[in-house]
Amino acid sequence: MIVSIARNYMKMLERYQPWTEVEQGLVDMQARFLELHKQQLLQAKNPAERAKLEKTSPSNENPI
């Protein structure tokens, strides 16, 4: 019985592992996107441009 449980667990783990890599990739991309957005805000030359960027700020959205 323990061997059967271990086999089933290993099969499930093999299927789950790629998803953790995909999830980590999304987290990394979101962090990079937020950093780029922050840089855009800091470099905005006029208030209208800054307001537009703040309105579309990804920090207002739900994180992954």
pLDDT in tens, the chain (64 residues): 899 999 899 888 888 888 889 999 999 999 999 999 999 988 988 888 888 888 887 765 555 5
Cα–Cα distance for residue pair 36/7, rounded to 1 Å: 45
At 22 the pLDDT is: 92
**pTM higher than 0.85 for the full model?**
no
Domain extents for the chain? 2-59
Task: Give pLDDT, residue 32.
Answer: 95
